Amino acid sequence: LYWSANFATSGFSDGTYNITIYANDSAGNLNKSTVIQVTFDNSAPNTTSFINPVSRGNYSGSIKLNASVSDLIAVNSVFFNVTNITGGQVNTTSAAQEGSGLYWSANFATSGFSDGTYNLTIYANDSAGNLNKSTVIQVTFDNAAPNTTSFINPVSRGNYSGSITLN
């Protein structure tokens, strides 16, 4: 015979709790189960900020995405989401924790994207499945070399003395 009971963990502070089951019969006999420990975690991880890149920065080549993420219990995963300026999904990159600290990072190649403005968002999940989406920062990817035009003045192989104007 199985019995079940439901209760909302949202009424408790995040933390570790002991659960003990007591059962009694109609004759007044009491039985106590072993104690189990459970963790209640109703709070999303805290994504405090991007460490790198900086908002409104211009980037080319390979960059390191780095963010500070913490949770009262444990952070399970962090990823960086890249969308174009209209919000269309472009890329999701998983981050790795640096040591046992708060920093999570990923190497990211901007060369696979068209030049333009992009939104970067940090997403963090904890071990209880709570999701946090950070504030969005905008960055510009610029991998194209600038166009150069020919000189108007001075002309190639011309002879000059004094001062000249370069056009």
Per DSSP, the three-state class of 10 is: helix
- Neighbour tally for 45: CB within 10 Å: 26
Q: Which of 56, 71, 167, 55 is nearest to 127 (CA)?
A: 71
What tokens does 138 get?
Answer: 């905008």
Per DSSP, the three-state class of 16 is: strand
Q: Which residue has the higher pLDDT, 87 or 119?
A: 119
pLDDT number for residue 51: 85
The DSSP code for 35 is P
pLDDT number for residue 167: 67
pLDDT number for residue 106: 94
pLDDT number for residue 116: 93
Q: Which helix (H) or strand (E) holds 24?
A: strand 22-24
pLDDT number for residue 82: 92
- pTM of the shown model: 0.70
pLDDT number for residue 88: 81
What tokens does 31 get?
Answer: 């039985």
The sign of the dihedral angle between the CA atoms of 97, 98, 102, 107 is negative
Cα 18 to its chain centre, rounded Å, is: 33
Residues above pLDDT 90, as percent of the chain: 32
Q: Which helix (H) or strand (E) holds 92?
A: strand 89-94
Chain segment 55-110, per-residue pLDDT in tens: 899 999 999 999 999 888 888 999 999 998 887 888 889 999 998 888 999 999 99
Query: Would you say 43 and 56 are in contact if contact means Cβ atoms under 8 Å apart?
Result: no
Report d(CA 15, CA 12) in Å as an integer: 8
